[in-house]
Amino acid sequence: MFNLSQGTIVAKRTTRATGSTSSTDIVTIHDQQLHRGKGGELHQIAEDGAELLTTSQGGPVADDQNSLRIGARGPLLVDDFHFREKIFHFDHERIPERVVHARGYGAHGFFETYEPLTEITRADLFQRAGEKTPVFVRFSTVAGNKGSADLARDVRGFAVKFYTQEGNWDLVGNNIPIFFIQDAIKFPDLIHAAKQEPDRAFPQAQTAHDNFWDFISLTPESMNMVMWIMSDRTIPRSFRFMEGFGVHTFRFVNAKGASTFVKFHWKPKLGLQSVAWNEAVKINGADPDFHRRDLWQAIQSGNFPEWELCVQLFDQEFADNFDFDVLDPTKIIPEEVLPVKPIGRMVLDRMPGNFFAETEQVAFMTQNVPPGIDFSNDPLLQGRNFSYLDTQLKRLGGPNFTHLPINAPKCPFHNFQQDGHMAMRNPVGRVNYQPNSFGEGPRQSPSKGYQHFAADENGQKVRLRPESFADHYSQARQFFLSQTPAEQRHIAMALTFELSKVETVAIRERMISHLLNIDETLATTVAQKLGIQAMPKPADAAIPTRQDLERSPALSIVENGPKRFEGRKLGVLVTDGVDAKLLKKLKTTIEKEKALLELIAPKVGGVTASDGSRVEAHHMIDGGPSVLFDAVAVLASPAGIEDLEMEATARDFVADAFQHCKFIGYDENAFPLLVKAGIANDLDEGTILLPGDEGLAAFVSELGKLRVWGREPGIKLGKASSPET
């Protein structure tokens, strides 16, 4: 009778390993030969020398292909313990996903302290210059589920777990320094409104629907955040090219108990960069894992992402005299008012060995702080401190989620916590309590243990917002005016798109009334695009919008771009007969800039260059659109370009790059493709005829500008010319 197991495994000892296991992997224990796996774990050996398949209890498996049943076509038997265990585990492979920040991606690395900060904090990781602390970072989107696309217009989570010598410190922030709401009690309402509408379960990973904008339009405190989320901050080009923020005001506390207020900023080494909205939509179609792939490839290739941790430090006097309340999470302290100070750098240099075990099971909690870091009375932060533990208990099944390796401290730790679901550690010996008279077990330490800052607090027990939280429009106006013209245009376009998906006209009009308190030109532009006939009155404002706040260049992505092409990617469309010398020199020049060059060809198998050599491609033209690259070039032969002219995807490759204001390099043979793409009559400083292999350095240096934003207002792609043109 045919048996899918291909024979029955008979347990026996082998004297020599064969097949996939080398003899150096064999360990003999108690006269039994075992195979040592990659992680050092021991496995039994099957007949062919491979690791022996076992149950989770260690029992050898004879047949993993067929269930136990009565006869070849009979019913399954309940005593098939191997099938029961296998299907049981499979049924439970998915733990409940996060309600927010469900789609995430993480990496390991280290944080290196620049100089001791002993005068302002007793935190151990800031006591010694050059101190390296292991970290794990998880980037994420907020609104979408685990299966959503990377380039949704959304806030990005930026959570860092520091494994310090005094316990874990979780700096759980976002790529935007403020938030929608001022009090955590409104968080369920915000997320309910932002997620899929409950009756129809869509849209997914989008805020372009009635519920979200209904809530926002009735929540004036969100208006500053509206400017940020409608900006290009919410469509970053890469995790590597975005800032991170702790959002709230925290405290540093030194060994004498003195407090200094602190706000945390992560500054990317490679500068800021985002994508255009039309580009984001097409990236999601071409590669919904775009951000994941980018981080993976960067780390695997040794181009380790790096950020500086910077702080804004201030005392009570500054807090009392600043224009806005430092406890209000919808406000920033502009860097021009209070400069940031770099205190260390973070480098991500290792991907998780298993996504589920680490990135999916990592548990961040804002309340995880070491001695020397404390909280302010920010009501949103206080609520987060209360909430996060509940989240981990729900997701990870019980109180012992800290036993998971990704969540466990890397310093020694001891306590009397015991038992519970999935306990992997328990107290050893007789005593599991304090105080005890046996002199056993860990003890508290007033000098070394965590001490909260002794703040004086007084007042009535009430439910209210402080008057100092009441200005909802001034910083929103400041943010908008701090953007370049191109960025302001993108904010108007984003608002128009989002509100165009809102079916209830009254909600659109209500949002226009708020925009009138921010910038009249912005409000008028959006209203006209939406076809609103009569402008509403400005929304009632508890505090009139201030007109005197100065521009903050630190708030602009464009003004904080890289100025160089390092870490970026050039996509080169090539044909058979491509100039081998030119292509080789272009690749060398790009690599000197610490950037990547990837080839796109009519076939993924590649092309034959002018010298007869075979050049493999990274993408075929159908799978390598220009949206995947930061700049593009087209290198062709006279015969090859004729074929490309007939390819719609090749024409789109050039037309999209032009529409997205990217730099386009081309050789003389490639010009007919520019004609067919409808851009030949609109060439500008960003469309560059390559000067030959001797002048490529100048071309590559231009790529550091990333975009030719001056092209955007006049983009009107011409009709493709006829073949005879």
Over residues 129-188, the pLDDT tens digits come to 999 999 999 999 999 999 999 999 999 999 999 999 999 999 999 999 999 999 999 999
Query: How far is 48 from 104, CA to CA, in rounded Å?
Result: 40
Residue 520 dihedral angles phi and psi, to the nearest 5°: -65, -40
Contacts of 336 (CB under 8 A, 6+ apart): 550, 552, 553, 554
Residue 653 CA to residue 629 CA, distance in Å, equals: 10
pLDDT, residue 693, reads 74
Q: What is the DSSP string of 668-683?
A: GGGHHHHHHTT-GGG-
Strand partners, 140: 104, 157
More confident call, 19 vs 311: 311
State the Cα–Cα distance between residues 397 and 252, nearest whole angstrom.
34
Sort strands 596-601 and 619-620 into parallel, antiparallel or unpaired. parallel
Q: What are phi and psi of 9, to 5 degrees?
A: -80, 125
* Neighbouring residues of 501: CB distance < 8 A, sequence distance ≥ 6: 203, 206, 208, 209
Taking only Cα atoms into account, the Rg of the chain, rounded to an integer number of angstroms, comes to 30
Residue 522's φ and ψ, nearest 5 degrees, are -60, -50
Burial 185-221 (b: 16+ CB within 10 A, else e): ebbeebeebbbbeeeeeebebbbebebbbbbbbebbb
pLDDT at 457 over 90: no
Q: How far apart, in whole angstroms, are the C-alpha atoms of residue 249 and residue 381?
A: 9
* Better pLDDT: 483 or 721: 483
Task: Please name the helix (run of DSSP H) or strand (run of DSSP E) that holds residue 697, with its range, or none.
Answer: helix 696-703
Q: Is the pLDDT of residue 644 over 90?
A: yes
CA dist., res. 245 & res. 262, Å (int): 11
Residue with tokens 């191997």: 82
Secondary structure letter of residue 52 according to DSSP: P
- Mean predicted lDDT score pLDDT of the chain: 91
Residue 28 in this model has a pLDDT that exceeds 80:
no
The whole-number average pLDDT for the span 582-590 is 96
- State pLDDT tens for residues 288-341: 999 999 999 999 999 999 999 999 999 999 999 999 999 999 999 999 999 999
Structure tokens of 594?
């610490």
Question: In which band, very low, low, confident or very high, does the pLDDT at 16 lie, cut at 50, 70 and 90?
Answer: very low
Q: Is the pLDDT of residue 76 over 60?
A: yes
**Could you tell me which residues come within 8 angstroms of residue 354 by beta carbon, excluding any fewer than 6 positions away?**
none
Q: Which residue has the higher pLDDT, 353 or 18?
A: 353
Q: List beta partners, residue 666.
A: 634, 689
**Mean pLDDT value across residues 521-548:** 97
The upper half-sphere exposure of residue 532, i.e. CA atoms within 13 Å in the direction of its Cβ, equals 25
The predicted pLDDT at position 83 comes to: 85
pLDDT at 429 over 50: yes
pTM assigned to the model: 0.90
Q: Which two tokens stand for residue 385?
A: 């401190």
Nearest to 305 by CA among 343, 275, 252, 266: 266
Q: How confident is the model at residue 724 (pLDDT cuts 50, 70, 90)?
A: very low
Across 227-241, 281-295, 321-335, 396-410, least confident range = 396-410
Please write the tens of the pLDDT for every residue from 82-120.
888 888 777 887 889 999 999 999 999 999 999 999 999
Q: Kind and range of the H or E element at 528?
A: helix 520-530
Please state, as a whole number, how many other Cβ atoms lie within 10 Å of the Cβ of residue 274: 24
Residues in CB range of 121: below 8 A, 6 or more apart: 252, 253, 254, 260, 372, 373
CA 157 – CA 139 distance, rounded (Å):
5
Separation between Cα atoms, residue 298 and residue 504, nearest integer Å: 44
How much is the pLDDT for 49?
67
User: Measured between alpha carbons, how far is residue 89 from residues 39, 92, 239, 403, 708 in Å?
Assistant: 22, 5, 33, 20, 53
Q: What is the mean pLDDT of residues 634-651?
A: 95
Q: What is the mean pLDDT of residues 345-364?
A: 97
Whole-number pLDDT of residue 78: 79
Catalytic entry in 35, 101, 490, 619: 101
What is the per-residue pLDDT across 660-714, written as a single tens digit (0 to 9) for each?
999 999 999 999 999 999 999 999 999 999 987 778 988 999 999 999 999 999 9
Spatial separation of the C-alpha atoms in residues 281 and 130, rounded to whole Å = 43
Catalytic (active site) residue 174: yes
In DSSP notation, 379-437 reads HHHHHHHHHHHHHHHHHHSSGGGGGSTTTS-SS--------STT------SS--SSS-T
pLDDT for 45 beyond 80:
no
Q: Cβ-count burial of 304 within 10 angstroms (0-12 exposed, 13-18 middle, 19+ buried)?
A: middle
Domains of the chain: 23-91 (4.10.91.20), 104-208+235-403 (2.40.180.10), 471-558 (1.20.1370.20), 564-714 (3.40.50.880)
From 82, 108, 168, 174, active-site residue: 174
Query: What is the model's pLDDT at position 241?
Result: 98
Please give the annotated binding residues, written as ranges. 98, 138, 187, 384, 388, 395
Q: Which helix (H) or strand (E) holds 654?
A: helix 648-659
Kindly tell me the number of DSSP H helices and DSSP E strands found in the chain: 18, 21
- pLDDT interval class at 509 (50, 70, 90): very high
Q: Give 235-250 pLDDT, tens digit per residue.
A: 999 999 999 999 999 9
Residue pair 267/310 in contact by the 8 Å Cβ criterion: yes
The mean per-residue pLDDT over the stretch 388-413 comes to 91
In Å, the largest CA–CA distance within the chain is 99
Instruction: Say if residues 283 and 238 touch (Cβ distance below 8 Å).
Output: no
Residue by residue, DSSP assigns 149-203 as -TT-SS-EEEEEEEEEBTEEEEEEEESSSS-S-SSGGGHHHHHHHHS-BTTTTB-
CA distance 197 to 502: 12
What pLDDT does 641 receive?
A: 96
Instruction: Tokens for 579, please give them.
Output: 């100039």
Annotated binding-site residues for heme read: 98, 138, 187, 384, 388, 395
Residue type, 327: L
Mapping DSSP onto H, E and C, the string for 271-283 reads CCCECCHHHHHHH
Query: pLDDT at position 25, please?
Result: 64
pLDDT number for residue 338 = 98
pLDDT of residue 194: 97
- What is the three-class DSSP state of 214? helix
